[in-house]
C-alpha cells in the first residue's frame, strides 16, 4: 500500500476510539505499519480488524499509558514486530468533569498521569530507538482547552493540555540534533464518542459557537497529524496546529453573523 508513510512504523497510543482510531486508519492507509495501543482490547481489535480489511497493516497491544512498564513493553513490542519505531502519536487522554471545589487529589493525579505523564513516558521510551536510527516523528494530541480556552470542570484537563506544549517545546530543542521532530495538534470540538456523552444540548451549543457551523470529524485531526509526521513537515518542530473550525477566532458570539 504505497503512500506518504510507506515503510514507516507508527505507534499510536490511545488509538482505539474516536480521534485515535481515525489516526490509526489514516496512517495505515498512507502505508504505515501501525501498532494501536489502548486499554480496551475489544475496541483495539475492532480498529485493527477494520484496518486490515481495508488492506492496511495493523496490530493491537494493550497498554496503560500511565504505567512505565506497560509503555516500555509496548515500544519493545513495536521493535520486535517491525525492528524500529519511526512515528509516535501520543493521543491518550481522559477528561472527567470536576469543579475546583469538588476535585479530589485522585481526580487531579489520574488526569495528569494519563494525559501528561503518559506523553512523557511514550516519548522517553521511543527515544533510544529513534536516536539509533537517526529519525523520528512525534505528534501530541493537545487541545484548544488549556492552551487557548477554558471550560468549567476541566481545570485538571486544561492544565495537562497546556503542559503538553511546554514539554513539547523543550523536547523539540533536545531532540532536533537527532533528526527527531515533535509537534502538537490542538483539536476543538470533534465528533467522537466522548463528546457525544456530553449530550445533544452541549453539541448544539458548541456548533453555534463555531464559525464553520459544525463539529469536526476525527479525520480532520488525523490528516493534520499526517502532515506533521510526513516528509512534507521535515523542517517543522516544536509547533502547534489548531483544528477547530475557527472556534477560537471570534471574541464573542456577536462576531458570528448568523
What sign for the dihedral angle of Cα 145, 149, 150, 155? positive
Which of 60, 157, 202, 223 is the catalytic position? 157
Residue 250, C-beta contacts closer than 8 angstroms, at least 6 positions apart: 209, 211, 256
C-alpha pair distances (Å), 134 with each of 76, 124, 129, 176:
18, 15, 9, 10
Q: Which residue has cell 470542570?
A: 153
> Is 223 assigned a catalytic role?
no
The full length of the chain comes to: 258
Query: Per DSSP, what are the bridge partners of residue 90?
Result: 13, 140
The grid coordinates of residue 88 equal: 509516535
Active site residues: 157
Amino acid at each position: 500500500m504505497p503512500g506518504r508513510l510507506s515503510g514507516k512504523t507508527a505507534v499510536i497510543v490511545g488509538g482505539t476510539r474516536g480521534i485515535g482510531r481515525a489516526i490509526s486508519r489514516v496512517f495505515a492507509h498512507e502505508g504505515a505499519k501501525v501498532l494501536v495501543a489502548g486499554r480496551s482490547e475489544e475496541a483495539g481489535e475492532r480498529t485493527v480488524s477494520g484496518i486490515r480489511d481495508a488492506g492496511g497493516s495493523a496490530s493491537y497491544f494493550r497498554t496503560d499509558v500511565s504505567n512505565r512498564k506497560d509503555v516500555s513493553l509496548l515500544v519493545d513490542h513495536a521493535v520486535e514486530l517491525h525492528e524500529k519505531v519511526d512515528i509516535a502519536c501520543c493521543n491518550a487522554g481522559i477528561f472527567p468533569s470536576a469543579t475546583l471545589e469538588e476535585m479530589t487529589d485522585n481526580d487531579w493525579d489520574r488526569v495528569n498521569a494519563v494525559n501528561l505523564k503518559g506523553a512523557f513516558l511514550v516519548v522517553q521510551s521511543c527515544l533510544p530507538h529513534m536516536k539509533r536510527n537517526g529519525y523520528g516523528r512525534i505528534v501530541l494530541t493537545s487541545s484548544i482547552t488549556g492552551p487557548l480556552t477554558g471550560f468549567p470542570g476541566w481545570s485538571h484537563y486544561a492544565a495537562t493540555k497546556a503542559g503538553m506544549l511546554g514539554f513539547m517545546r523543550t523536547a523539540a530543542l533536545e531532540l532536533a540534533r537527532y533528526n527527531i521532530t515533535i509537534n502538537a495538534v490542538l483539536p476543538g470540538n470533534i465528533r467522537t464518542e466522548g463528546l457525544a456523552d456530553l449530550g445533544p444540548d452541549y453539541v448544539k451549543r458548541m456548533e453555534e459557537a463555531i464559525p464553520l457551523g459544525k463539529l469536526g470529524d476525527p479525520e480532520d485531526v488525523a490528516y493534520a497529524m499526517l502532515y506533521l509526521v510526513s516528509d512534507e513537515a521535515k523542517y517543522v518542530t516544536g509547533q502547534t496546529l489548531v483544528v477547530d473550525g475557527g472556534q477560537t477566532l471570534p471574541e464573542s458570539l456577536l462576531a458570528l453573523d448568523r
